Amino acid sequence: MPLETDEHVLAWFELLDTAHTGLTDPEAADEFAAAVRESASWCDPAAVEEFLRVLTDTGEGLAPVARVVAERSELPGAYWALYGEPAAETEADGDRFGWLSTDQSETLRQAWGEGWRDHLGPQLDHRWGEGWEAHPAEHRQLWLTDVLTELLNPAEPTAADEVDLDQLAEQAVAETLAELTDAEPMSAEELAEAVAIVRRNLQEAMNR
């Protein structure tokens, strides 16, 4: 079950304990599932259904629930030891990246300074596409591991990269000139100089 804060961990296991101890029959799996669904309105419904499915697939009935609620004194530490660190901040606090683990946010802060959020946002939007923020925080933390490796250890530019950069510069200059309908025609030398300037600016932006 993907959970994001210590409070969520404690609340989830309290929910399981209450649902289990309130059963008319300790093995009434359907009654337990109904009680969990009713009480877990604050959880992701898909995650709740996945939890119940996996519980059924164990073939042990409600025995796994009895075991985990018996170990509640070890929470929330035992949960994070198995499933990763809690987020450094919560999205409920208005932080778009509150789902990052403490280690992840600290790594980014060391690499990019206090403005790391401004750099990370466009990178994830580009790589993960629209709607990525709807995924559970646990999934995003796992995905970010590969992204951090790529961002903080970029590959050396290749000859192909250089050609692409030239094309981007030429395209940018051409589009700008097309918009300037009243501008005087530029000579070949002036065009080459404009392309070189744009290319240099693109290269500097990529190296930041």
Mind listing the pLDDT tens digit for each residue in 93-111? 567 888 888 888 888 888 8
Please indicate, yes or no, whether residues 104 and 132 belong to a single structural domain of this protein: yes
Residue 113 in any domain: the answer is yes
CA separation for the pair 102, 85 (Å, rounded): 7
65 and 99 fall within a common domain: no
Regarding whether 14 and 73 lie in a shared domain, the answer is: yes
- Note whether 202 and 165 are within 8 A (CB): yes
Same domain? For 13 and 77 the reply is yes
Domain identity same for 46 and 14 = yes
* In-domain check, residue 14: yes
Task: Say what the pLDDT of residue 19 is.
Answer: 93
- 24, 57: one domain: yes
Each residue's pLDDT tens digit, 141-164: 888 888 888 888 765 555 444 446
Instruction: Report long-range pairs for 91-96 (Cβ below 8 Å, ≥24 apart).
Output: 91/4, 91/137, 96/121, 96/133
166 shares its domain with 147:
no
1 located within any domain: no
Let me know if residue 185 belongs to a domain: yes
Count how many Cα atoms sit within 13 Å of the Cα of residue 81 in the half-sphere of its side chain: 5
179 lies in which domain range? Answer: 159-207
Pair 67, 135 in one domain: no
Spatial separation of the C-alpha atoms in residues 19 and 71, rounded to whole Å: 16
Mean pLDDT of 184-197: 76
> Which amino acid belongs to residue 139?
H
**Domain check: are 13 and 58 in the same one?**
yes
CA distance 77 to 54: 22
**Among residues 152, 176, 191, which one ends one of the domains?**
152
Measure the CA–CA gap between 71 and 52, rounded to whole angstroms. Answer: 19
Please check whether residues 10 and 49 belong to one and the same domain.
yes
Say if residue 144 is in the same domain as residue 163.
no
How many domains is the chain built from? 3
Question: How crowded is the C-beta side of 117, counted as CA atoms within 13 Å?
Answer: 9
Tell me if 44 is assigned to some domain.
yes
pLDDT at res. 92: 47
Residue in the structure block whose two tokens are 């609620």: 69
* Residue type present at position 17: D
Using an 8 Å Cβ cutoff, are 95 and 85 in contact? no
Q: Which of residues 60, 83, 106 is at a domain's end?
A: 83
Q: How much is the pLDDT for 201?
A: 82
> What is the token pair recorded at 16?
């399981």
Residue the block writes with tokens 């799996």 = 29
Tokens at 112, concatenated: 């990019």
Are 101 and 51 in the same domain? no
Count CB atoms within 10 A of the CB of residue 145. 10
- pLDDT tens-place string over residues 42-91: 888 988 999 999 999 989 999 999 888 888 888 888 887 777 655 544 44
